Structure 1
Amino acid sequence: MNEDKKVVPLMDNMNTNEECTETKTSKWNGRKGIYLLPNLFTTGALFSGFYAVVASMNGNFENAAIAIFIAMILDGMDGRVARMTNTQSDFGAEYDSLADMVSFGVAPALVAFSWALQDLGKVGWVASFVYCAGAALRLARFNTQLGVADKNFFTGLASPSAAAIVAGTVWVFSESGVTGADVAWLMALIVPAAGLLMVSNVRYHSFKGLDLRGKVPFVALLAVVMVFVVVSIDPAKVLLGVFMAYALSGPAYELWTRLRAKKA
Structure 2
Amino acid sequence: MAGRQFHLIYILPNLFTAASIFTAVIAIVSAINGHFEKSAWLIFLSLVFDGLDGRIARLTHTTSRFGVEFDSLADIIAFGVAPALLLYFFAGHDYGRLGILVMALYIIFGAIRLARFNIMSPNTDPTVFIGVPIPAAAIFVSVWVLMFSEYESLRSYTVLLLIAALLVSLLMVSNIRYPSFKKINLEKPALTKTLIVLIIAASLIYLYPVEGFALIISLYVVWGVVRAARTLLTRRPPKSV
Corresponding residue SS for 2:236: helix
Cα 1:219/1:193, change in 2 over 3 Å: closer
Corresponding residue SS for 1:44: helix
Q: Which residue of 1 aligns with 2:33?
A: 58
Q: Residue 192 of structure 1 is aligned with which of 163, 166, 169?
A: 166
Cα 1:63/1:178, change in 2 over 3 Å: farther
Cα 1:178/1:38, change in 2 over 3 Å: farther
Letter in 2 for 1:118: H
Q: Which residue of 1 aligns with 2:44?
A: 69
Sequence identity percentage: 36
Please list every run of at least 4 consecutive aligned residues from structure 1 whose deviation after the TM superposition is greater than 3 angstroms. 177-180, 216-227
CA displacement, residues 164-197 of structure 1 (integer Å, 9 cap, x when unaligned): 11101101111224685x2331122011111111
What TM-score results when the alignment is normalised by the length of structure 1? 0.80
Q: Residue 256 of structure 1 is aligned with which of 216, 221, 230?
A: 230
Q: Is the 8 A contact 1:62 1:175 kept in 2?
A: no
Q: Which residue of 2 aligns with 1:18?
A: none
Q: Is the 8 A contact 2:185 2:191 kept in 1?
A: no
- 1:258 positional shift: 2.5
Q: Residue 227 of structure 1 is aligned with which of 191, 197, 201?
A: 201
Runs (5+) with no aligned partner, structure 2: none
Letter in 2 for 1:135: G
Q: Residue 78 of structure 1 is aligned with which of 53, 56, 63?
A: 53
What TM-score results when the alignment is normalised by the length of structure 2? 0.87
Q: Which residue of 2 aligns with 1:12?
A: none
Q: Residue 127 of structure 1 is aligned with which of 81, 89, 102?
A: 102
Cα 1:64/1:179, change in 2 over 3 Å: farther
Q: Residue 165 of structure 1 is aligned with which of 135, 140, 146?
A: 140
Q: Which residue of 1 aligns with 2:126?
A: 151
Q: Distance in 2 between matches of 1:241 and 1:60?
A: 23
**Bigger Rg over Cα:** 1
- 1:242 positional shift: 0.6
Q: Is the 8 A contact 1:138 1:198 kept in 2?
A: yes
Corresponding residue SS for 1:157: coil
Q: Is the 8 A contact 1:119 1:184 kept in 2?
A: no
Greater CA drift, 130-139 or 183-192? 183-192
Runs (5+) with no aligned partner, structure 1: 1-28
**Are 1:44 and 2:19 matched, yes or no?**
yes
Corresponding residue SS for 2:235: helix
Q: Which residue of 2 aligns with 1:101?
A: 76
Cα 1:121/1:217, change in 2 over 3 Å: closer
Q: Distance in 2 between matches of 1:136 and 1:219?
A: 35
**Are 1:210 and 2:184 matched, yes or no?**
yes
**Are 1:90 and 2:65 matched, yes or no?**
yes
Corresponding residue SS for 1:154: strand
**Count of residue pairs brought into register by the alignment:** 233
Q: Distance in 2 between matches of 1:246 and 1:168?
A: 13
- 1:252 positional shift: 1.3
- 1:154 positional shift: 0.7
Aligned-pair RMSD on alpha carbons? Answer: 2.7
- 1:83 positional shift: 1.3
